[in-house]
Amino acid sequence: MATERIGQQFSFLVEADKLKDILRQSPVIATGRRENSAEHSWHLALTALVLREYAAEPVDLTRALKMLIVHDLVEIDAGDTFAYDTAGNASKSARERAAADRLFSLLPADLAQELRALWDEFEAHATPDARFANAVDRIQPFLQNLYAGGGAWRRHNLTREQILQRLDPIRTALPALWPSVLDGLAQLFGDAAKAAPTQS
């Protein structure tokens, strides 16, 4: 029985290694190359550790970290859907749920249930931990794109309004950081952005 359990755990971990081959749109700041999803997951965990003090609600950091570590695993099957890809996002939920069904089923039943529940919780955005994790998932690519001179935002000709809509979970879950987000976008888009109305 123990040997079977270890085999399932090893199989899952070997499968998870594939996340290193999934490229995202956000650039690595130092080189401009596209980061992979495993790098993104590590950076999210570090971002949560560093920015927890700004959470608007009490947060179970360990639970939030678990969500951040598992939430992108589905990209192994579903790929990384660019946040601003309207067509891709239309089928994203179905593709990712099918991927979650397959990937978490590789684990022993108890671990499969635990990790799938964390993934579902992150997707639902309904708990303080999930709201914090989702805001962290927005602030990390914000920093990357901002400090890479616009990065994927410029490459895809995104507007300030599109970016603000995507970043809105930061406004509610990490409100102390929202003025810094607005300042960063104002710098990126020029002085005219400072006069643009902000979301209330």
pLDDT per residue over 61-102, tens digit each?
999 999 999 999 999 999 999 999 999 999 999 999 999 999
Is there a domain that residue 200 lies in? no
What are the tens digits of pLDDT across the range 36-50?
999 999 999 999 999
Is there a domain that residue 46 lies in? yes
Is there a domain that residue 34 lies in? yes
Task: Note the pTM of the prediction, 2 decimals.
Answer: 0.92
What distance in Å separates the CA atoms of residue 188 and residue 24, rounded to the nearest whole number? Answer: 21
Is there a domain that residue 116 lies in? yes
Q: CA dihedral in degrees (99, 100, 106, 109; nearest 10)? A: -160
**How many domains does the chain divide into?**
1
Identify the CA nearest to 164 among candidates 124, 122, 131, 200. Answer: 200
Is there a domain that residue 90 lies in? yes
- Domain range for 82 is 2-195
Secondary-structure percent of the chain, ordered helix, strand, coil, rounded to 5:
75, 5, 25
CATH number at residue 66: 1.10.3210.10
Q: How confident is the model at residue 191 (pLDDT cuts 50, 70, 90)?
A: low
Cα torsion 154, 160, 164, 165: sign: negative
What distance in Å separates the CA atoms of residue 19 and residue 76, rounded to the nearest whole number? Answer: 5
